[in-house]
Chains A and B, each alone.
Chain A
């Protein structure tokens, strides 16, 4: 299995709702990422988990809460979002190489989030 899967594909939520985005990979990768992508812009890094530990938090507002229950799963919990948080949320995974070298990041198809 060489794919990263994400659910749901689309999500519409109100500003008072609580929802979660899910990401799964079965490639044995030990690094997983959340990105936010606005239209016509590059992916913008939010969080990085390395060996199930949060290693990078790009000063993301606390209304976004990541969780890595095990090496195959990554969640993003959403609460009290704002309309400007509407975007495509991409998950990715990679296998860190030896000597801190970098290996290919595989992206999931994304969740298109709309906040009303």
Chain B
């Protein structure tokens, strides 16, 4: 099955700096890669996703890049703000096999220092 590794496990940045979180996946059949943000005591919320026919996607201060050859994808947050502090999870899923289930990375706790 799919295996997703996520690094770093914790990340502390100063407000205004950029943050980068990286994930690698094992199954070359994976073609959907969402990123979720989970604040303490809240539900995971999708912040951005990318499909394997696209190399990069941007939404305001958030961007995701995908390298299918190397099987890794990254989340980039620019101009970080204290409200960006949360746990971020990457995920991957293969399709075409009927297994419509996300495999999550282990999570990154991002702390933005004001």
User: Which residues on A are within 8 Å of B, measured CB to CB?
Assistant: 31, 33, 40-43, 45, 48, 50, 55-56, 90, 94, 96, 100-102, 104-110
Contacts and interface: CB of A to CB of B under 8 A. Distances in A.
A90 B34 CA distance: 17
Contacts of A33: 101
A104 B100 contact: no
Interface residues of B, number: 25
B98 A90 contact: no
A67 B100 CA distance: 18
A42 B100 contact: no
B42 A109 contact: yes
Contacts of A101: 31-32, 51, 95
Interface string B1-40: 0000000000000000000000000000001101010000
B101 A48 contact: yes
Nearest to A6: B43
B81 interface: no
Given A104-B49, A107-B45, A31 B100 contact: yes
A50 B99 CA distance: 10
Contacts of A41: 106-107
A56 B32 contact: no
A55 B99 CA distance: 8
A48 B45 CA distance: 19
Contacts of B98: 55, 100
